[in-house]
Amino acid sequence: TEVPPDGTDHRSPASSEAGHTLFIDGVWGPAASGHTRTIRCPADGTAVATVAEAERSDTERAIAVARRVFDDGTWANSSPWQRGDLLLRVSDILVRDRDEFARAESLDTGKRLVESGYDMDDIAACFRYYGKIAGTDPGHVVDTGLPDAISRVSYEPVGVCGLITPWNFPLLQVAWKVAPAIAAGNTFVLKPSELTPSTAILLMRALAEAGLPAGVGNLVLGAGEQTGAVLAEHADVDMVSFTGGLHTGRTIAASAAATVKRVALELGGKNPNVVFADADFDTAVDYALTAIFLHSGQVCSAGARLVVQDEMHDALVDEIVRRVELIRLGGPFEEEAETGPLISAEHRSKVEDYVAEAVAEGAVLRTGGRRPEGDRFTNGYYYLPTVLDEVQQGTHAVGEESFGPVLTVERFTDEDDAVRIANDTHYGLSAGVFTSDPGKAQRVAGRLRHGTVWINDFHPYLPQAEWGGFKQSGVGRELGPAGLREYQEAKHIYQNI
């Protein structure tokens, strides 16, 4: 592991030089091949961790363990109240070890330390929520209408779950799956993004400390095709829950179809942020900026499409451009930094191609559109916050996700036009509405075909409220009571008395 010249300790607490970072059947070990992967901080390219690089055989071993432990029945039939208590203990450990987790997350992602800290608070809250609701739903009695028959519906675990997650909110996406999977009594094999494995390693340690029985939760680390794909295909996996890109989601759904396993998908979004001319101007500017530039736009629910009413267009875009040019870029531990690097050189190239294509289509580049200048940015994957104005319906820039710090701007005339434009996308994850007219806000929110709508705000979510996509943004819901149902089978028991 390299230590950078500024003397900061860039080693992740999750690193293992020998690659003993697979957690299978309650035991830490290396990949069967002995292969390892070096994780590098996107802010400066420093090596921060060495982890195992699993392959098909490691994944198959983890699936076999999860299958055996599920079929044994002890865990699946354990008291949901006890599983809830376990989740509450995990939440306490996350609060206790918040700084260690946040540091590991920032080293892997290049995300500002303060943002990783907020993520950890939300992760602890997610475990707390599922800890509290596990066991509160005993199912329901059904009135048969007959004097000599009784009937009830109960909820049981689905079985072995394959959990596959992305790099942008590495542990948050894991928590949204692991917490309800445990609450419901499933066993699982977790496959986090190969770019950001550290906090998943720390979480497995926390689960073991909280008392999760061996083999209930298993961790494999490695590339998608060698590990994640095995989870989607394998006949012994009953459910695959995936968060990531649309293309990968389609591949996973197709291979899961062969064994008719349950599929939950949380995919991308190209999310409209609709600003009416009667909106409070300063509020609209502030939220338009955080909607897209939080975590350099690498947020599935980012407000990447500013859809603004004609009358406000010029003033709003001018002010946004002025403010964008003041945004300070920097590494995760630089307190002055307001936003950080992209996850990888490859991802930055995709963002650069996206902007080039948009400009070729006729979008007007108002600011950004290039890498920042200065030696301190040379080794990181930085890209300037970018505003593309006057993008047209039907173009690549409107329809596709850049997943980077790129705001595209469209205009609308009236309420119907706003709704039509905001819904004119194959995605449907989130949307914002800014107006000072509460009636209009509710009317428009009701007509938007998106899974979350924020009014005069952007980004807040709650563990107790469902999260997920309409249309090609996904299948199923995470968080809230429905997020638990995803990991349960309903069973109807009818008795002739």
The answer to the question of residue 389 lying near ligand NAD (CB under 6 A) is no
In the block, tokens 């070096």 appear at 38
The answer to the question of residue 408 lying near ligand NAD (CB under 6 A) is no
The answer to the question of residue 267 lying near ligand NAD (CB under 6 A) is yes
Q: With respect to ligand NAD, which residue has the nearer C-beta, 160 or 300? A: 300
Strands (E), 247-370: 262-266, 272-275, 305-309, 364-367
Which residues make Cβ contacts (< 8 Å) with residue 246, sequence separation at least 6?
267, 268, 401, 427, 472
The answer to the question of residue 425 lying near ligand NAD (CB under 6 A) is no
Q: With respect to ligand NAD, which residue has the nearer C-beta, 243 or 273? A: 243
In the block, tokens 């992209």 appear at 342
The answer to the question of residue 229 lying near ligand NAD (CB under 6 A) is yes
Kindly tell me the sign of the dihedral angle through the C-alpha atoms of 100, 104, 109, 110.
positive
Q: With respect to ligand NAD, which residue has the nearer C-beta, 107 or 267? A: 267
User: Catalytic site residues?
Assistant: 266
Evaluate whether 163 touches 176 at the Cβ level (below 8 Å): no
CA 42 to CA 170: how far, in whole Å? 14
Residue of 80, 110, 159, 244 that binds ligand NAD (CB under 6 A): 244
In the complex, what is the shortest distance from the CB of residue 59 to ligand NAD, in angstroms, rounded to a whole number? 10
Binding positions for ligand NAD, 465-484, rule CB under 6 A: 469, 474
Evaluate whether 10 touches 107 at the Cβ level (below 8 Å): yes
CA distance to 46, 78, 199, 208, 276, per residue, from 19 (Å):
18, 33, 15, 19, 54
Q: With respect to ligand NAD, which residue has the nearer C-beta, 463 or 469? A: 469
* Residues that contact ligand NAD, how many (by CB under 6 A): 31
CA distance to 194, 302, 406, per residue, from 418 (Å):
39, 18, 21
CA 208 to CA 362: how far, in whole Å? 55
In the complex, what is the shortest distance from the CB of residue 458 to ligand NAD, in angstroms, rounded to a whole number? 15
The answer to the question of residue 197 lying near ligand NAD (CB under 6 A) is no
Residue of 300, 388, 406, 444 that binds ligand NAD (CB under 6 A): 300
Binding segment toward ligand NAD, per CB under 6 A, in 38-46, 188-196, 270-278, 318-326: 188-196
The answer to the question of residue 226 lying near ligand NAD (CB under 6 A) is no
Which residues make Cβ contacts (< 8 Å) with residue 255, sequence separation at least 6?
229, 232, 233
State both tokens at 401: 């996700």
Q: With respect to ligand NAD, which residue has the nearer C-beta, 61 or 83? A: 61
In the block, tokens 């445990």 appear at 182
3-class secondary-structure state, position 355: helix
Binding positions for ligand NAD, 157-176, rule CB under 6 A: 164-169, 173
The answer to the question of residue 248 lying near ligand NAD (CB under 6 A) is yes
Binding segment toward ligand NAD, per CB under 6 A, in 179-187, 241-249, 283-291, 388-396: 241-249
The answer to the question of residue 268 lying near ligand NAD (CB under 6 A) is yes
Alpha helices (runs of H) in 97-157, residue ranges in sequence order? 98-109, 113-133
Q: With respect to ligand NAD, which residue has the nearer C-beta, 135 or 245? A: 245
CA 85 to CA 89: how far, in whole Å? 6
Q: With respect to ligand NAD, which residue has the nearer C-beta, 93 or 479? A: 479
The answer to the question of residue 232 lying near ligand NAD (CB under 6 A) is yes
In the complex, what is the shortest distance from the CB of residue 195 to ligand NAD, in angstroms, rounded to a whole number? 7
Count other C-beta atoms under 10 Å from residue 345's C-beta.
Answer: 12
The answer to the question of residue 24 lying near ligand NAD (CB under 6 A) is no
Which residues make up the interface to ligand NAD (CB under 6 A)?
Answer: 164-169, 173, 191, 193-194, 224-225, 228-229, 232, 243-245, 248, 251-252, 266-269, 300, 401, 403, 429, 469, 474
